[in-house]
Structure 1
Amino acid sequence: MPSKRAGIFLFLLFSAIFFWLLPLVEAEETGYLPLSEVKIGMRGYGKTVFYGTKVETFDLEVIDVVSGKSIEDAYFVIRITDDRVRELGGISAGMSGSPIFLKDRIAGALAYGYESKDNLIGVVTPIEAMLALWGSSGTRKKEQRSLMLAMGLGQRAASFLEQHAPVRVALAFPQLFRGRSSGMTSAVPELVPGSAIGVQLLSGDADILSIGTLTYLEGDKFLALGHPFLHYGKVAYFLSSIYVNFSVSGKDFPFKVGTPIEVVGIVEEDRQSGIAGRIGVFPDSCDLQIVARDRNGSSQSFNFKVVQDERVLADILPSLFLDVLDRVLDCQCSGTIVVSVRLHARDFSFEDRFFWTSKTDVAAEGANGLDRFLRGLSQNPFFEFRPQRISLEFEHFPYFGWGKLGSLSCPASAEQGKFIEGEVTVFPYRRETITFPFRLPVPDNFPSGRAEIVIWGKGSESESRLEDTGTPMNIKEYMEKITASEKRNGFKIELRSLENESAGSYLIEVPVPLLVEGSLSQEVLIGR
């Protein structure tokens, strides 16, 4: 019979062996190959869609294994040895997330390729790092970013998107690429590891998305990409099934071009090691409408659905607005646009009119103005903006809406409790002089005696003066602050007492369709 001491020793020995083997047992049970077992020289295969919806395999070998401080910093490097990939130009944008199998067990996801001569060297995110997306999530950002496809948008709008959103590059494809390919069927393909998927932000009269590959499935949960999309953490993007139309070598790297088939789920995590979400669960969306009106009463309407994310709205809506303006105007030209903006969320509604004008490119001026407004709204300190409906209605005027104050005409005296009625002339850019009437109330308690009417154009106000309104105490004050620079049309009229400076003044604004500069003044006698 073994002694009690020997029994304790054997128990501790078996316990140590058990806990040492436990990760390997768990890896076997879940079917994945841990990074610790990945060795240089191993051969395996990956899965992706080259055309249509059919998942195919490609051959590869491991050429390096790199450990890090944590699994999120570790990776291994592969060389693709498959002729099909070589013929298509190498690793393409759209292959991100392709599951990599070694010893017939999933080891990770192809995250990105090195832009080398043959473009066949790829970096793989270990599957353990991606599985962590279902639990604790990484926070540091990898340099790799996604390629965005702007289907139905022009190249100028795509370039604007690339400059303002955290994407690797944005590529525009005209409306003709949005039709159904002859090889497409009405059936939605079953998603399996290797299937083409789309991370979609916008659908409707245009689509904005990134194509990748589904890496891993467990029930209704999925993992994909192997690198961040926008790296926004907790998110609610559309997950779409994709029909791959073709692959393009591209100027700098190859990429897949595909057509969204149907929204099939939700992306809920956008992290360093990839994206994660659920199939069969759908995110809330925002109905977006952009309407172009003209003076003849006719209109053009563009309709979309966009994800309910204030950061995404700030990233993509200005580009979309630019594209609609380019379509409607059909030129890069001077002019003025007056835009009615309506926003509706569960506990918030907003409506206002903005004014943008340019001597050279009014569409770009409008897009930049909308970008300023949306980024200001997304940074508000009061609530998270999750819009249900957004409406932009605009009218274009072919003139550059700028003018200089010319003269002021009004009576030499006025009574308290009555109105001062007068006229202001403005010299507009390359047009005839315009006269604007005004009606300035004189308060009952305004001091008797000498006073002064001062008029100045809002276009003369500096950006710092517009924003120098103190710390906003509520959302109304905040909205007034961030919209001030987008409503600089017109002029202000102030009535000041020259007899009693401590009495304060009375101020009104006169909105006119011009960015007015300059100032005027005139004395007036106030009495009973």
Structure 2
Amino acid sequence: MTSLMCGSSRRRHEGRSRMMKHLRKFNVVLLALTVIFPLGASVFAEMSEPEAVSAEDRFMFVDEVKPGMKGYGLTVFSGTTIERFDVEILSVVYNVSPRSDLILARISGGPIAVSGVIAGMSGSPVYIDGRIIGALAYSWPFSKEAIAGITPIREMLDIFKFERAGEQKTITRTGASGQKGWAETANYKVALPVINSEYATMKPIMTPMVFSGFSPEAIEFFKPQLEGYGVVPVIGGSFAEHLSGLEVPFEEGSAIGVQLVRGDLSASAIGTVTLNDNGKILAFGHPFMLSGPIDLPMTTAYVHTVLSSMVVSSKMSTALKSVGALVQDRSTGIAGILGGSPSMVPVELRVHVQGEPPQEYHFEVARNRQLLAPLVGMALSGSFTSAYNNFGKFAASIHYDIEMDKYPTVSNDDFVSGLGGLPMLASLGLFRDLSSLLNNEFEELTLKKVSINVDVKEAVDTAQITGVRIWKNTLEPGETIDLKIIMQPYMKANLEQDVSLKIPDNFPEGQAFLQISAASQTAAFESMRNPYSLRPTSIEHLLELINEPYPGNRIDIRLLITDPGVVINGEEMAALPSSIFSVLSQTIGKEPIGITRSSILLEEHVTTDYEISGFVTVPITVTRKAS
């Protein structure tokens, strides 16, 4: 490294000589620097001014880059040692996306000869004549040669102009609240420069996300969603004792970690530092999640080895010490500041297997609306796999609390059972609720804590509704219906559940339907009967929907009539008189109003010791006796 520094000093001396000879060119560069490092409020305004090094000494902008030029890049292939790899410029593609250019290069040296472009090299700074031209950021999957796309350094420097999370005046969201469990990846992909042809697609270099303490099954389950964001999951290790005292410099070419989970479980995305400008950090050269302003822990990292693959070669790494905060996630890279300390969401997880002592897990998850829900779901799944040791039969009761800053705690229960797949099934309810809260379109919610409690035993406690016995099909308003719900448990004799319902005194005469169903089936019915009620119209309505779950061990008994109802702002008005219905229906399209296909006039719930499936519908007639 000493020789590199000496060479750098010589180049600075030569650069100053050139500036005296080319004053006009220097003035242009100074103007560019005024744009790149603007005065006024920004994410980096509180920091000291950059070192007084001219742009001509430090950066080579894209208009100077020519085919045939040769240089080098910096990255870490093993441990924390920064190594060089060779770079040959092939071409410059202008306007590959609006106001964005791309430098094409062939890279070689070290493990690249065997592994090609390696996941984790994103952000590797590339130098020509000792000046940074940009960051390694894109590659071609299955390419026979290690051809890479380089994001020009000028476009990365522009990230410094953005405001920090919490300082921006507005936040624009996409997608309907609670309609999709996972935030859409469309915006991420559209924002990237992508070159398509019949035979080749240039994509961002995959970002390895190293998981420790997560089960392979959980990682595989969420893998498609992770890959939608350009992330390749890698099973690795957590902070090792022998690395605890390791002092790692944080400079151009160093490995950088984006820490998303820390504690008893850990998960970190790994890339490379492009620029350290007096404590201001640039990395990746492409987005991580394209989240805009962020607040994520930034760490040093240790690279164990390069895992060569025909599909995606990647660095197997471990996040080390937190050194600051990442504050921007933009289309041309990520930016951070040294010394920050982002807040994370604490998660407490308790798993009690029957006959065994409870196991507790304590960890923190980054406040990222795209990844928090799946990461908590993966952690929950992984802890199950560890605690119940993969036995085939299972029956699990799950309770979770989601504490928030401004609103009451969301508390829900669920029950799942079967012959396999417990980790995935157990995490879906929590995953759905967290996703709905974090991706709502009404208000930015701040989570304070997530607590999860699971009791699991080795048994199959499932039962299917197969029939119902009812002694009268014609009843009067005010009369009580006695019925027996018949269920077939797994490998057991039939069960019967007695239920009594009183028909309301004001129940209209005519045909009605008695519907007995598993709560999970009820949810499917409601999405067809009354889809409008499941579309939140406010944050309060969303919380109300989340607090009305459909647990797996519940039977729903409902009495319906075919008369339609009206939904206004999520509130259902059942079986309205035709005159009122006619007036309200004329306003559809002007207000948040919808029409239901039928009306529920009576509803009861029965909680059982089984995960229920199936449904039965029985027609009945309600009539009044002639007086």
Q: TM-score range by the shorter chain?
A: 0.7 to 0.9
- Residue of structure 2 equivalent to 1:403: 464
Partner SS for 1:190: coil
Residue equivalent to 2:40: none
Letter in 1 for 2:604: I
Deviation string 1:4-25 (CA, Å, 9 cap, x unpaired) is xxxxxxxxxxxxx988753334
In structure 2, the residue matched to 1:426 is 487
| Alignment CA distance shift 1:71-1:102 (3 Å) | farther
* Partner of residue 380, structure 1: 440
Query: 2:28 aligned with 1:23, yes or no?
Result: yes
Contact conserved, 2:468 with 2:616, CA < 8 A, in 1?
no
Q: What's 1:365 paired with?
A: 425
Which residue in 1 is equivalent to 2:222? 161
Do the aligned partners of residues 310 and 490 (structure 1) sit closer, same or farther apart at CA in structure 2, a change above 3 Å counting? same
Question: Structure 2: how far apart are the matches of 1:288 and 1:24?
Answer: 50
The reply on whether 1:96 has 2:145 as its aligned counterpart is no
How far off its partner does 1:130 sit? Answer: 0.4
Question: 1:293-442 alignment to 2 at 5 Å?
Answer: 293-296=352-355, 298-331=357-390, 333=392, 335-348=394-407, 349-358=409-418, 360-397=420-457, 398-404=459-465, 406-408=467-469, 424-436=485-497, 438=499
Tell me which residue corresponds to 1:6.
Answer: none
Q: Distance in 1 between matches of 2:314 and 2:151?
A: 20
Q: CA deviation at 1:133?
A: 0.8
1:405 Cα deviation from its structure 2 partner: 5.0
Count, aligned residues = 503
| DSSP 3-state at the match of 1:288 | strand
Structure 1: tracts of 5 or more residues without a match: 1-16
d(CA) in 1 for partners of 2:411, 2:68: 63
Q: 1:496 to 1:99 in 2, by over 3 A?
A: closer
Alignment partner of 1:461: what SS?
helix
Aligned-pair distance for 1:468?
Answer: 2.7
* Length-normalised TM-score, structure 2: 0.70
Counterpart mapping for 1:266-281 below 5 A: 266-281=325-340
RMSD over equivalenced CA pairs, Å: 3.9
Instruction: Give 1:241's aligned amino acid.
Output: T
Q: TM-score, normalised by structure 1?
A: 0.81
Q: Residue type matched to 2:605 in 1?
A: E
Shift of 1:496: 8.9
The answer on 1:152 being equivalent to 2:178 is: no
What's the offset of the Cα at 1:264?
1.5
Do the aligned partners of residues 521 and 297 (structure 1) sit closer, same or farther apart at CA in structure 2, a change above 3 Å counting? farther
Q: Per the alignment, in what secondary structure is the counterpart of residue 437 of structure 2?
A: helix
Q: Does 1:193 align with 2:252?
A: yes
Change (3 A) 1:419 1:518: closer
CA deviations on 1:81-115 (whole Å, 9 max, x unpaired) are 43x24456343212211111112111111113444
Partner-residue secondary structure (3-state), 1:318: helix
2:155 pairs with 1:129: yes
CA 1:52–1:333 in 2, change beyond 3 Å: closer, same or farther? Answer: same
TM-superposed CA distance for 1:216, in Å, is: 0.7
Per-residue CA deviation, residues 378-437 of structure 1 (Å, 9 max, x unaligned), is: 33233223312112222335215232154558999x999999888655332322333445
Deviation at 1:224, TM superposition (A): 0.2
**Equivalent residues in 2 for 1:201-212 (5 A)?**
201-212=260-271
Please list the CA deviations of residues 133-175 of structure 1 after superposition, one character each: whole Å capped at 9, or x if unmatched.
112599822431423222332322222222123333533426x
2:7 maps to none
Q: 2:61 & 2:560 partners in 1: Cα distance? A: 78
1:76-115 map, 5 Å: 76-82=103-109, 84-86=110-112, 89-115=115-141
Query: Any conservation in 2 of the 1:88–1:249 contact (CA below 8 Å)?
Result: yes
CA spacing shift, 1:171–1:515, aligned 2, 3 Å: same
What residue identity is the alignment partner of 1:339?
I
Tell me, yes or no, if the aligned pair for 2:239 and 2:320 is still in contact at 8 Å: no
CA pair 81-87 structure 1, distance change in 2 beyond 3 A: closer
TM-superposed deviation, 1:254: 2.5
Fraction of identical pairs, as percent: 23
Cα distance, 1:476 vs structure 2? 4.6
Shift of 1:292: 1.5
CA contact (8 A) 1:141 1:231 kept: no
Quick check: 1:477 aligned with 2:504? no
